[in-house]
Amino acid sequence: MTNNLRSELVVRENETGVGVERPRSYTNILPYILVFPAVMVILLLYLYPFLASFWKSFISKEGVLSLANYEKTLRLYRYDILFTLGVTVLSTLIATVLSILLAVYLRLSKSWLANRIGILYRLPIFLPFVVVAQMMRSFLAPHGIFNLFLAKLDLINIENPLQFFNWTGLTFGFVWKEAPFMILIILAGFQMIDDSYIEAAKSVGAKLPQIITKILIPMNKPTILIAVTLVFCSLIGCFSFPYMLIGGKTPVTITVDIAHRVNYFGDYGVANALGVFSYIMVSFLAIYYIRSMMRKGLYD
């Protein structure tokens, strides 16, 4: 290496600050001060309650360490746990497929219809679950708008209407509320993909299904995963909608059971044990999500 080049490199290093010792001053602790509030919020409002609820799920009514709460949870609510998992997985799956299809349409089409849909689909995002619940209650009721509509078309007899106050109505409401949110996230990802990839694929003969499965989805996988994780977690924890739609029935979601244990029995032990089951359900997805993110970080 010539001297010239060496001195140039030194200059460059100095310019970017590499190799220059920083003055020892408050700047050394500044980063810690800056992250302190955020970390404290997470520790106090998230980690502490989380660990406390986990720990208390093992404390019986008599105040001793035992599995009594879990025994009762599994005896009374095992079907509710499976029901919650089933409905959430199904709703997330349907919402994912629907939102990918619609996001693809919105990404590829430039028509006026796509523009209108692009505005309309966002509306449900702004509605709270409790409003959605009230809407679904009148829309899906045995003599509700939907059944009356079908009866007018002579497709059903209104005295023997379709029943939606069960897992079907719950899934329908979940998808209606959450698919738009997924579209928002997934579409943003699709829009980051340069047209040239799609055009290149087209030029070598790729049809639409291939463009979707070979270009758009693989290139957008991390975003889709984020959307799936967020929606899955929010559905597992949703209370108002299942409570208002199927609150009195069995099976029902575990959030309704948790409220029932606390409100009628003051029984935080079983409520916490039910909570732990929801953490377990969420953690499967969370672990998968974090692992795939880390793997991506390592090899990119």
- Supply the minimum distance, in Å, between the C-beta of residue 252 and another protein: 6
Q: Which residue lies nearer to another protein by CB, 102 or 271?
A: 271
Q: Which residue lies nearer to another protein by CB, 94 or 259?
A: 259
Q: Which residue lies nearer to another protein by CB, 118 or 247?
A: 247
- Supply the minimum distance, in Å, between the C-beta of residue 248 and another protein: 3
Residue 162's region, left for phi above 0, alpha for psi from -120 to 50, else beta, is: beta
Q: How far is CA 113 from the centre of its chain?
A: 28
CA distance linking residue 117 with residue 113, whole number of Å: 6
Looking at residues 109 to 148 of the shown chain, list those that interact with another protein (rule: CB under 8 A): 137-138, 141-144
- Supply the minimum distance, in Å, between the C-beta of residue 260 and another protein: 5
Looking at residues 246 to 275 of the shown chain, list those that interact with another protein (rule: CB under 8 A): 246-250, 252, 256-257, 259-260, 262-266
CA distance linking residue 50 with residue 56, whole number of Å: 10
Q: Check residue 243 for interaction with another protein (CB under 8 A).
A: yes
- Supply the minimum distance, in Å, between the C-beta of residue 135 and another protein: 13
The residues with which 59 forms a beta bridge, in sequence order, are 65
Please enumerate, as own/partner, the contacts of 210-213 that have beta carbons within 8 Å and a separation of 24 or more: 211/108, 212/100, 212/104
Q: Check residue 63 for interaction with another protein (CB under 8 A).
A: no
Give alpha helix (H) positions in 153-239: 167-192, 195-203, 208-210, 217-219, 221-236
Looking at residues 144 to 183 of the shown chain, list those that interact with another protein (rule: CB under 8 A): 144, 165
Q: Is the peptide bond before 161 cis (omega within 30 degrees of 0)?
A: no
Q: Which residue lies nearer to another protein by CB, 156 or 262?
A: 262
Q: Which residue lies nearer to another protein by CB, 107 or 260?
A: 260
Q: Which residue lies nearer to another protein by CB, 193 or 244?
A: 244
Contact 228, 220 (CB under 8 A): no
- Supply the minimum distance, in Å, between the C-beta of residue 36 and another protein: 27
- Supply the minimum distance, in Å, between the C-beta of residue 270 and another protein: 10
Interacting span for another protein (CB under 8 A) from 8-16, 101-109, 222-230, 237-245: 237-245
CA distance linking residue 137 with residue 116, whole number of Å: 28
- Count of residues binding another protein (CB under 8 A)? 27
CA distance linking residue 117 with residue 246, whole number of Å: 31
CA distance linking residue 116 with residue 102, whole number of Å: 13
- Supply the minimum distance, in Å, between the C-beta of residue 271 and another protein: 12
- Supply the minimum distance, in Å, between the C-beta of residue 125 and another protein: 24
CA distance linking residue 236 with residue 285, whole number of Å: 12
The residues with which 65 forms a beta bridge, in sequence order, are 59
Contact 254, 278 (CB under 8 A): yes
Q: Which residues here bind another protein, judged by CB under 8 A?
A: 76-77, 137-138, 141-144, 165, 243-250, 252, 256-257, 259-260, 262-266
